[in-house]
């Protein structure tokens, strides 16, 4: 021990030594400061008085009026105590008893994880717990509260006869987690009380029983286990419902109208070596809407995707093989949600390789793909609402077995020409083999047998970046011309199309060599893509960049005009030999605002056929964003409303009106249908120790497979103590 003080007084009659004035004692990692410290040699105790301050081995700071403690700092009695820990938690008490270094009991104590107000330290923190006794167990690293009340801004809001929480140094500790509560029309009022079992440093179990006044008790288990070379989880939930008929609302039957309901989900990821991983994500549900009704297992609302995969990756090589199972979660209304329409994919394999050594002055790369899938029932868009397929409906997938193997070899180079011009020659060769055993539903469609297809291509791209500058502003304009020569697409429109149904012609695909999104379709014929890119630096005002251009079918069959089962390309803007114009502009203000717009204009009339605008901005304490989407014609594969306009606007904003308080909201409006698609609003409080929010959200029935959903949610998180929430339905939704 080392002692510093202004004066030392020895009392031989009472066997005491007193240090007076600016006393500092350093012992075994502890530091004690006081105006006076008296050491009782017989009892081996110290009494410190006057502005007492102790810093322990962990960095915790104890401040008190007086401390009566043993010379090893293990046992003592403290009055007018304040304890500040390194984890920014704070205790205060009229008195405290420290017992052999094992426990500290605070009498009439106060605990909080909030920092004191800088301007007024005596002001009550945002929240604090007052208790008759607060017992800190230093061995178990637990804090026990007896006869406790929770206060917000000095106002009591809840009383607890007893509760406990791990001390802030503990990352994993068995015990109850904060409960959650709420109300749903089909479930009734409910409360969830999770218990966490910290069974080991690398595995744990969470058990969450949930009691519903209308349906009974749901049991939910989640097991997590981390190993040296990976991790996996297993979660299971189930219930024997008391009132299944509650899921029948307005004559509409929900899949929850049954007694026993449940599900299991497991995930995993294991590292075989530095390059190879194997993993899975699998889910089984007793019915379509179980996970949605009870908010368990998955947050998906339309389809739960199960997969098993093996992945390998190096600097130049990539391989991935997967199997998929798609579980429909939509409410059981209509043939379009039939589970048999979903394919079982076993497997789909992708491999790519980049050859390191140059070949003919350019880079050669290879991509391969193999897929095999089975579908139990033909999937189509019932645009007439007759409940069965009729000619003209878009076919999304045929009943039966579909197999394809594809390879794609690509070579490209780059050359700098005089005056800064750039020329990029390229070539590719695609080859596919199909084996089909599918339902014969459409004449002219090759759905039985073996078929092969080869597509060679040769092309080049010329560009010339031109820089213009004046003062602090500059403009770069880069005209681009691209031409691709190839034969007609073989078997165009005659083969099933599983992975190339999505076709978006815009500035991002203007210079794509093949504008189809997958392997099942390949673009044929000779095509030219022309346009220009631009970047403008307008001093400190803004930066503008964008693209404008058009595509031309110069010779051969236009693949996008071919009649095909999925009707891909029918309203893409590429179905004519002279395409629509596509363009985009991005404005970056550099001072908090950002705008992106892209559009597709009719080649003859310049009418807008497609437009999307997204804007974000920050002005002072307000942050906002808005987006607008317009489609003159909806593709047939997108919905039963094929051919109708899609015209929507959405936005969201947040206003931080104080350092901690903010209000927020969002809305989505269907301009074509002239109705609200959804909206939400709320307010929240955030600081270093508290997160609190109240929000309201609504989704109307035309934009969900359930009835109109109106939900009020309240969430609260107190640092070191935990989080809880409450949600309730304000509408008459039958499920969610």
Average pLDDT of 208-220?
Answer: 95
Rg, Å, the chain Cα set: 35
Rounded to whole angstroms, the Cα distance separating 151 from 92 reads 15
Q: Largest alpha-carbon pair distance within the chain?
A: 116
What are the two backbone dihedrals, phi and then psi, of residue 340, each rounded to the nearest 5 degrees? -65, -15
pLDDT at position 733: 41
Average pLDDT of 479-502?
Answer: 94
Q: Poorest-confidence range of 349-353, 390-394, 594-598? A: 390-394
Cis status, amide bond into 347, omega within 30 of 0: yes
Model confidence at 338, in pLDDT bands (50, 70, 90)? confident
**Which runs of consecutive H residues, i.e. helices, occur in 456-603?**
none
DSSP 437-453: EE---STT---EEEEEE
Model pLDDT for residues 614-640, shown as the tens digit of each residue: 999 988 899 999 999 998 887 766 555
Average pLDDT of 155-166?
Answer: 87
Q: Are strands 61-70 and 90-99 parallel, antiparallel or unpaired?
A: unpaired
pLDDT at position 336: 56
Q: DSSP character for 725?
A: E
The angle formed by the CA atoms of residues 476, 477 and 483, to the nearest 5 degrees, is 140
pLDDT at position 575: 92
Average pLDDT of 545-549?
Answer: 96
Model confidence at 735, in pLDDT bands (50, 70, 90)? very low
What are the two backbone dihedrals, phi and then psi, of residue 166, each rounded to the nearest 5 degrees? -65, 150
Model confidence at 734, in pLDDT bands (50, 70, 90)? very low
| Percent of the chain whose predicted confidence (pLDDT) is above 90 | 52
Domains in the chain, CATH or no CATH each: 2-176 (2.60.450.10), 180-302 (no CATH)
Average pLDDT of 347-365?
Answer: 94
Q: Which 3 state secondary structure label does DSSP give 589? A: coil
| Percent of the chain whose predicted confidence (pLDDT) is above 70 | 95
Partners of 532 in beta bridges:
479, 548
Average pLDDT of 460-479?
Answer: 93
pTM across the whole model: 0.82
Checking if the pLDDT of 42 tops 80, the result is: yes
Residue 187 in tokens: 């479930």
Average pLDDT of 37-46?
Answer: 84
CA 472 to chain centre: 41
pLDDT at position 736: 38
Average pLDDT in the chain: 89
Model pLDDT for residues 288-332, shown as the tens digit of each residue: 889 988 999 998 888 999 999 999 999 999 999 999 999 988 875
Checking if the pLDDT of 245 tops 60, the result is: yes
Between 32 and 224, the higher pLDDT residue: 224
Model pLDDT for residues 400-450, shown as the tens digit of each residue: 999 999 999 999 999 999 999 999 999 999 999 999 999 888 877 888 999
Confirm if 583 and 599 have CB atoms less than 8 A apart: yes
Looking at mean pLDDT, say which of 116-120, 182-186, 519-523, 561-565 comes out highest: 519-523
Model pLDDT for residues 677-728, shown as the tens digit of each residue: 888 999 999 988 899 999 988 877 666 666 656 788 888 888 888 888 888 8
pLDDT at position 235: 97
Three-state helix/strand/coil letters over 397-463: ECCEEEEEEEEEEEEECCEECHHHCEEEEEEEEEEEEEEEEECCCCCCCCCEEEEEEEEEEEEEEEE
Q: CB pairs under 8 A, 24+ apart, for 45-49?
A: 45/69, 45/70, 45/71, 45/76, 46/70, 46/71, 48/23
Model confidence at 251, in pLDDT bands (50, 70, 90)? low
Model pLDDT for residues 97-115, shown as the tens digit of each residue: 888 778 889 999 999 988 8
pLDDT at position 401: 96
């Amino acid at each position: 021990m080392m002692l510093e003080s202004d004066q030392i007084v020895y009392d031989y009659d009472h066997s005491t030594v007193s240090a007076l004035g600016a006393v500092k004692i350093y012992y075994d990692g502890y530091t004690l400061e006081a105006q006076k410290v008296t050491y009782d040699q017989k009892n081996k105790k110290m009494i410190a008085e006057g502005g007492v301050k102790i810093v322990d081995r962990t960095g915790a700071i104890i401040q008190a009026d007086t401390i009566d403690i043993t010379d090893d700092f293990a046992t003592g009695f403290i009055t007018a105590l304040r304890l500040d820990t390194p984890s920014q938690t704070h205790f205060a008490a009229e008195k405290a008893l420290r017992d052999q270094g094992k426990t500290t009991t605070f009498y009439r104590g106060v605990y909080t994880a909030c920092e004191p107000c800088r301007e007024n330290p005596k002001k009550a923190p945002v929240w604090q717990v007052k208790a008759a006794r607060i017992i800190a167990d230093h061995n178990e690293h637990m804090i026990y509260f007896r006869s406790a009340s929770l206060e917000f801004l000095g106002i009591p809001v809840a009383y607890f006869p007893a509760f406990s929480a791990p001390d802030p140094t503990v990352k994993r500790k068995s015990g109850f987690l904060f409960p959650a509560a709420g109300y749903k029309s089909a479930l009734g009022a409910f409360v969830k009380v999770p218990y966490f079992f910290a069974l080991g440093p690398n595995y744990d179990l969470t058990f969450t029983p949930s009691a519903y006044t209308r349906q009974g008790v749901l049991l939910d288990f989640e097991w997590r286990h981390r190993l040296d070379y990976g991790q996996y989880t297993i979660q299971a939930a189930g219930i024997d419902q008391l009132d299944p008929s509650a899921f029948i609302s307005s004559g509409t039957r929900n899949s929850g109208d049954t007694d026993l309901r449940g599900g299991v989900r497991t995930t995993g990821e294991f590292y075989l070596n530095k390059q190879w991983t194997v993993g899975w994500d699998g889910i089984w549900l007793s019915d379509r809407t179980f996970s949605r009704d009870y908010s368990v297992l998955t947050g998906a609302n339309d389809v739960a995707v199960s997969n098993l995969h093996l992945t390998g990756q190096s600097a130049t090589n990539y391989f991935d093989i997967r199997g998929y199972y798609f579980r429909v979660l939509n409410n059981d209304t209509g043939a379009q949600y039939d589970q048999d329409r979903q394919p079982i994919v076993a497997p789909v394999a992708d491999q790519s390789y980049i050859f390191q050594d140059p070949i003919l002055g350019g880079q050669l790369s290879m991509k391969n793909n193999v897929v095999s899938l089975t579908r139990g029932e033909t999937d189509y868009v019932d645009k007439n609402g007759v409940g069965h397929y009729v000619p003209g409906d878009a076919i999304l997938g045929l009943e039966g077995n579909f197999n394809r193997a594809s390879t794609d070899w690509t070579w490209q180079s780059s050359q700098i020409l005089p005056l800064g011009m750039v020329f990029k020659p390229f070539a590719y060769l695609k080859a596919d083999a199909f084996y089909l055993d599918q339902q014969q539903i459409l004449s002219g469609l090759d759905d039985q047998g073996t078929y092969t297809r080869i597509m060679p291509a040769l092309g080049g791209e010329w560009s010339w970046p031109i820089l213009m500058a004046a003062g602090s502003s500059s403009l770069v304009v880069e005209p681009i011309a691209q031409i691709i020569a190839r034969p007609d697409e073989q078997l165009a429109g005659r083969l099933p199309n599983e992975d190339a149904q999505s076709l978006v012609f815009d500035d991002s695909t203007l210079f794509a060599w093949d504008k189809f999104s997958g392997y099942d379709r390949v673009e044929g014929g000779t095509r030219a893509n022309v346009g220009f890119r631009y970047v403008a630096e307008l001093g400190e005002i803004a930066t503008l960049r964008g693209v404008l251009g058009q595509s031309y079918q110069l010779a051969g069959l236009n693949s996008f005009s071919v009649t095909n089962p999925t009707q891909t390309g029918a309203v893409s803007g590429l179905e004519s030999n002279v395409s629509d114009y596509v363009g985009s502009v991005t404005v970056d203000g550099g001072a908090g605002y950002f705008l992106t717009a892209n559009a597709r204009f009719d080649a003859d009339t310049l009418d807008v056929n497609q437009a999307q605008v997204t804007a974000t901005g920050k002005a002072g304490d307000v942050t906002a964003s808005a987006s607008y989407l317009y489609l003159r014609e909806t593709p047939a594969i997108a919905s039963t409303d094929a051919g109708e306009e899609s015209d929507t606007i959405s936005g969201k904003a947040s206003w931080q009106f104080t350092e901690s308080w903010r209000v927020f909201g969002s809305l989505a409006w269907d301009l074509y249908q002239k109705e609200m698609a959804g909206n939400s609003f709320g307010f929240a409080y955030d600081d270093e120790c508290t997160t609190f929010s109240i929000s309201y959200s609504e989704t109307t029935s035309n934009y969900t497979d359930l009835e109109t959903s109106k939900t009020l949610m309240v969430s609260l998180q107190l640092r070191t103590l935990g989080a809880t929430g409450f949600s309730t339905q304000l509408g008459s939704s039958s499920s969610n």
